[in-house]
Chains A and B, each alone.
Chain A
Amino acid sequence: MKSLKLLALFVIPLGIIIAAVPPDRVKHFRLTADELLQEAGAGVQFVSPDVVADMLVQKDPSLRLIDVRTPEEFDAYSMPGAINVPLSNLLADEYTDILNQDAYMNVFYSNGSVYANQAWMITRQLGYENNFVLEGGLNYWFGNILSPEEPSQTSPNEEFAQYDFRKSAAAALGGGGVVSTGPEVPAVKALKPPSTTKAKKKPAGGC
């Protein structure tokens, strides 16, 4: 009986403490380094710029572009509708609701894809879903989506379809800041792009 009282003296206070503290205080790290490397290697985080362009033109409400560059760069130019979450402040409390959610498809972008990839890796480690990276970043976006190059006469039909799509997308999205889209793009608004199968392709990896 004496040992029972001694045991009770120990475990009951401990039990009360553990019942009183809020559960789930641990930040769950869901991925091992190996798993993360595998995902990054397979490129499941990338969203093709054509998909993003299509969603922008269709005004898809589920798309949310996140600029991870500095606020100065963001002010100088940003993609239509993008919000600024600088990489250096990624873990600030004010951004948690933006990054850890299941309503939007978040697409990180930076000039290339290095910073956007870093943002994706950090959020992935934290177990956040629905975050993706714009493949090629702004550089590719300017060079290929907003000012597409006309394919040569011998190119396969798919390339012409892609070119047509990009040209009309550029028309709809152009005039977005410092970039000159060139004289071949008329400043016509809301030119509906021909939908191509490529543009319909969903981003790889579960979203």
Chain B
Amino acid sequence: MFKMFLFSLKNLFSKPATLPEGTEKPKQYRGLIKYYEETCIYCKKCEMVCPPGAIIFTYPEDGSKRLIFHYNPYLCIYCGECVRACPKPGTLVQVEDTAPPATAQDKPNDLWFEVEKEAVESKKIWQEARRKKRNK
């Protein structure tokens, strides 16, 4: 008890144990995913492995093979499964930043639900466009 009393007295004059705001995160901290389209082969492996479903590809209307990548930083759990599944290293990169807190103006849910719907609908249109192209 006496020892703890001395410890408390010492604490009155020592530095706080908490880290100040803005302290740098340790290296290789798991954070957001960055996407580089140049090397992507649109295999959709990342979309298939993502546990929360934070990656969705939508299809262009003209039937071209370049799919559109959508990523929801608020849904992502930073597990890095997509980075490990990617067959082209460098397409998906995990950075150390985390997502800023979402506000009501951002409408994170509503916008994402639209993307989810669009992914289903655009696929049908895309398939039709592909069929027409082939028939020509």
Q: Bound pair: A and B?
A: no
Binding site for A on B (CB under 8 A): none
